[in-house]
Amino acid sequence: MFKPRPGQDEVINYRSGKMGIAAVPGSGKTHTLSYLAARLVASEDLAEDQEVLIVTLVNSAVDNFSSRVAGFLREFDLLPGIGYRVRTLHGLAYDIIREEPAMAGLDNRFAIIDERAAADILNIVVDNWKRTHPDFIQANTAENQDPERLGKRWNENLASLASSFIKQAKDYELTPEMIRAQLDKEEKSGEQFPLLEMGYSFYAAYQQALSYRGAVDFEDLIRLAYRVLRNNPEYLERLRHRWPTILEDEAQDSSLIQEKLLSLLCGDDGNWVRVGDPNQAIFETFTTAEPRLLREFLEREDVVPSDLQYSGRSAPAIIDLANYLNRWSQESHPVLELRDTLSKPFIHPTPPGDPQPNPPDTPDNIIIYNENLQPEKESALVANSARKWLEENPQGTLAILVPRNARGAEIVEQLTAMQVPYLELLRSSKATRDAAQVLAAVLGFYAQPSSKRRLADAVLSIGSVRFGEKALKGQSRAVRNLVNSQATPETLFASETEIPSIATTDPDQLTPEDLFHQGIHDLRLWQGAVVLPIDQLVMTISMHLFTEPADLALAYKLAIVLGGLAASNPGTQLPFFCEELNNIAGNRVQLYGFSAEETGFDPDAHKGEAVISTMHKAKGLEWDRVYLLSVNNYDFPSAQAQDNYMSEKWFVRDRLNLEAEMIAQLKALAAHDRLGLRKPEGQATREARLDYAAERLRLLYVGITRARRELVITRNTGQRGDCTEAVPLAALRTYLEHQA
């Protein structure tokens, strides 16, 4: 039976009206909200045709809520699954549109494209735009940089700009036609807005491509659902009756259009409970989330504010450190504009007798390394420390949290070398990256059969799979020399050319000639399959190359992904698929459908393993021991003069943040703010630095509050060796030193 702690009792006694709840990390908000939902269902206030609507952010949370509510209903001797509905925001929007698609201007058979398909369309749109606007890149490339050598970087940057512009425009309910009309009005005087013109071109072409496919994207779902309800009062009233109470989780991550949709569905006199933690709003700078919306909701006169401030997750010293970061940021941050980044409530340990008592403090359960380590030394230090801790605590849980996927991949290499058991929550696992790398090398040769470098890459990749990495030690240069000694690679694949059989498969006895001949033999064997569709080609190669079921399963996954890309991009050739596989191998793209957010993740199911994750993906999770890496002034800038920013590309003139400049103009256009539309160039870039610094401060807070018992924080000097300690980390370190 649920035993509420202080603060939770006020929430579970809610009956009607609007309530806003600020919940600290580990305060049991999901448990509390689930119990509230069950109590509302168990009350006699719901009619047979009514449900409590629970809205959350990701699919795994839907399963979590459904399971918990069902459990509480059984305690009330009620059947689970009746009287409530749990949906993601996008799932809710889809439900609304599906009942009345014509009201949204859609066919009954409308399709929803996923993020991968949307990215493919955007890449085509960007390529087409670049061909007709060659002057843009020339004009915006930094001095002393050659635009011709920056093609790939500009492609990635423009695709990111296009994606951000389109998502933001849809959040503001702006169609391409509306933007065009506004621009025409503003440009009558002859003034030009090249960034907005570019964004409009991307948006118009993208929407045209969606229309051609009879499809919508995820951002369209929210926008169209809101339009349907706003324009159809009768349908809106039906849904208000069906869902008289709305319980919203993770409200700090809501965007403007998402808030407007739920607000409309609730109505002025409806029942709406919003739960979130403004201090854990960590998606603002790369999504349309607006953390200020929850804070403003909490301050409304018609809203009853409440706090969940008791947490049994962390040891008292870790709670104290998180609270100090909060207090320091409000009182002492060197940048005044950032002093409202974190806010109350502070975290309080659970009271005596609570069913979830805090773990006890232990000596040195918080360690902040006061040394600027080189990145590779930091990785080795943390991997070795994790190895020792897991050996001493085989039933403990441990996480290594990094600010970026690339750092995670480096840690994986260290753990692999030390034979430490691990699990990744990065964009793709090491096994997936390895399989993708081998297949990319083989396909890369078939795409360029006259290239000796490609042939050598393929031969070495085949050897690594056939005989293991050990067989390649010290042999790579000799194998490449063998390849380079051939007149042309094509002669090796002539039918009359005889390839000797290898004498042994023992890795210790293999010669460079053996590796060379095995690679040529395999490449000749698969050559005839090159005419097959890409998914069949990948599986043909994989069935001969891989022997382990896990590797074959990964190859099948990759084949499905590439087959989907081929279906959405007719006529695509091998070089495109090689590039996609290289992106997966380089941890630059995610395989959609296989992420922890979609399938759920339980750290306690992985005791004795090191879990490697980004800090963003770790939100909502907890481990006994947590390492936070790379807490320097690049990954955690504080709007200081010496800080650098990932969003300010080194190859863009004047270090402009083009995305910030463009979105600021779009926001001004949406608000009919003529002055804001004409703010001096660079101002939006400087404002974006503050937004990013604020988000990274909240990310550090999230990282600290993942730890139950022990916390280790390190920093590194960065790739160029010039990074220093992050300002908030210096404050935390000094605080701990004074506490000692």
Mean pLDDT of 626-630: 98
The rounded mean pLDDT for the chain is 90
Runs of H (alpha helix) within 27-133: 29-42, 59-75, 89-99, 115-132
**pLDDT score recorded for residue 503:** 62
Burial of 160 from C-beta contacts in 10 A (0-12 / 13-18 / 19+): middle
Residue with tokens 């441990």: 398
Instruction: Flag the least confident range among 92-96, 127-131, 506-510, 575-579.
Output: 506-510
Measured CA distances, 47 to 13, 14, 44 (Å): 20, 18, 8
Residue 700 near residue 333 (C-beta atoms within 8 A): no
Rounded Cα gap, residues 501 and 514, in angstroms: 8
The three-state secondary structure class of 524 is helix
| Token pair recorded at residue 614 | 């980004």
E-assigned strand segments in 185-336: 215-216, 245-248, 271-276, 303-308, 310-311
pLDDT bucket at 678, cuts 50 / 70 / 90: very high
Question: In the structure, what pLDDT confidence band is assigned to residue 595 with cuts at 50, 70 and 90?
Answer: very low
Of 112 and 239, more confident = 239
pLDDT tens digits for 395-445?
Answer: 999 999 999 888 888 899 999 999 999 988 865 556 666 778 889 999 999
Distance of alpha carbon 16 from alpha carbon 311, whole angstroms: 26
The C-alpha atoms of residue 572 and residue 28 are separated, in whole angstroms, by: 49
pLDDT in the model for residue 592: 46
Give the type of residue at 305. P
Which helix H or strand E contains 535, and what residues bound it? helix 534-545
Identify which has the larger pLDDT, 63 or 21. 21
Instruction: Give pLDDT tens digits for 222-235.
Output: 999 999 999 999 99
What pLDDT is attached to residue 488? 75
Q: Quick check: 648 and 151 in contact, CB under 8 A? A: no
The helix (run of H) or strand (run of E) holding residue 367 is strand 366-368
Token pair for 538: 């990948």
Q: What 3-state class would DSSP assign to 429?
A: coil
- Helix locations, 600-654, DSSP H: 615-618
Binding residues for ATP: 23-30
* Alpha carbons 482 and 489: distance in angstroms, whole number: 11
305 φ, ψ to 5°? Answer: -85, 145
Residues 732, 740: Cα–Cα separation, whole Å:
13
Report the pLDDT averaged over residues 437-460.
Answer: 90
pLDDT at residue 594, rounded to an integer: 43
Closest by CA position to 637, among listed 684, 693, 691? 693
What residue type is 444 in one-letter code?
Answer: G
pLDDT (0 to 100) of residue 740? 74
493 pLDDT more than 80: no
Residue 287: is its pLDDT beyond 90? Answer: no
| Alpha carbon distance 277, 249 (integer Å) | 10
What gap in Å lies between CA 617 and CA 427, rounded to an integer?
A: 10
| Least confident window among 52-61, 256-265, 614-623 | 52-61
CA 226-227-231 angle, to 5 degrees, is: 120
Out of 3.40.1500.10, 3.40.50.300, 3.40.50.2000, 3.40.640.10, which CATH number does the structure's domain 8-100+221-312 have? 3.40.50.300
Whether residue 598 is predicted with pLDDT greater than 50 in this model: the reply is no
DSSP calls for 660-677: HHHHHHHHHHHTT-HHHH
pLDDT, tens digit (0-9, with 9 covering 90-100), for 531-562: 999 989 999 998 888 887 767 877 887 888 88
Give, in order, the Cα–Cα distances in Å from 455 to each of 361, 489, 490, 521, 546.
58, 7, 10, 12, 19
Residue 693 CB: number of other CB atoms within 10 A?
26
Would strands 707-713 and 623-628 be described as parallel, antiparallel, or unpaired?
Answer: parallel
Tokens of residue 324, six digits:
């100090």
Which residues does the annotation place in the binding site?
23-30
0.85 surpassed by pTM: no
Rounded Cα gap, residues 225 and 265, in angstroms: 10
Q: Is the pLDDT of residue 587 over 90?
A: no
User: Within 13 A of 719's CA, how many CA atoms are on the CB side?
Assistant: 6
Question: Are the beta carbons of 21 and 11 closer than 8 angstroms?
Answer: yes
Residue 593 has pLDDT above 60, yes or no: no
Average pLDDT over residues 81-93: 92
Maximum CA extent, the chain: 86
User: What is the band of 130 on the pLDDT scale with cuts at 50, 70, 90?
Assistant: very high
End-to-end CA distance of the chain: 41
Average pLDDT over residues 492-502: 67
Pick from 379, 377, 441, 719: nearest CA to 433: 441
Q: Which of 470-474, 515-519, 675-679 has the lowest mean pLDDT?
A: 470-474
Whether residue 96 is predicted with pLDDT greater than 90 in this model: the reply is yes
Output the six-digit token pair for 153.
């970087």
Q: Among candidates 577, 550, 545, 575, which has minimal Cα distance to 563?
A: 577
Check: CB of residue 338 under 8 Å from CB of residue 638. Answer: yes
Q: Given this model, what pLDDT does residue 152 score?
A: 85
Higher pLDDT residue, 465 or 504?
465
Measured over the CA atoms of residue 108, residue 114, residue 119 and residue 120, the dihedral's sign is negative
* Whole-number Å distance between alpha carbons of 84 and 41: 7
Contacts of 702 (CB under 8 A, 6+ apart): 25, 280, 282, 615, 618, 619
Where does the pLDDT of residue 51 fall: very low under 50, low under 70, confident under 90, or very high at 90 and above?
A: very high
Q: What is the pLDDT of residue 568?
A: 64
Higher-confidence position of 368 and 465: 368
Task: Label the pairing between strands 52-56 and 18-23.
Answer: unpaired
Residue 614 CA to residue 617 CA, distance in Å, equals 5
Whether the per-residue pLDDT at 352 is higher than 70: the answer is yes
Fold (CATH) for 363-427+597-739: Rossmann fold (3.40.50)
Residue 23 has pLDDT above 90, yes or no: yes
Confidence check: pLDDT of 472 > 80: no
pLDDT-derived band at 599, boundaries 50, 70, 90: very low
Does the pLDDT of residue 510 top 90, yes or no?
no
**pLDDT category of residue 597 using cuts at 50, 70 and 90:** very low
- Is the predicted pLDDT of residue 385 greater than 80, yes or no? yes
Average pLDDT over residues 601-609: 91
Place of tokens 């018992």: 709
Distances from the Cα of 232 to the Cα of 102, 235, 298, angstroms: 12, 6, 29
| Under 8 Å between Cβ of 651 and 150 | yes
pLDDT number for residue 625: 99
Cβ–Cβ contacts within 10 Å for residue 314, how many? Answer: 27
Give the pLDDT confidence score for residue 576 in this predicted structure. 83
Whose CA is closest to 273, among 482, 20, 488?
A: 20
pLDDT for the residue 73: 94
CB-facing half-sphere around the CA of 258: CA atoms within 13 A: 28
Dihedral angle sign, alpha carbons of residues 598, 602, 605, 611:
positive
Instruction: Give the pLDDT band of residue 589 (cuts 50, 70, 90).
Output: low
Among 264, 365, 112, 288, residue whose Cα is nearest residue 666: 288
H runs (alpha helix) in 76-188: 89-99, 115-132, 134-140, 151-171, 176-186
Q: Over 70: is that where the pLDDT of 718 sits? A: yes
Peptide bond into 345 cis (omega under 30): yes
Confidence of residue 606 (pLDDT cuts 50, 70, 90): very high
pLDDT at residue 325 above 70? yes
CA distance 278 to 342: 8
Distance CA 124, CA 120 (A): 7
Which value, in Å, is the radius of gyration of the alpha carbons in the chain?
A: 28
Q: Who wins on pLDDT, 302 or 107?
A: 302
The two structure tokens encoding residue 641: 């003069």
Compute CA distances 125 → 205, 333, 582, 590, whole Å.
6, 43, 22, 21
Say what percent of the chain tops pLDDT 90: 65
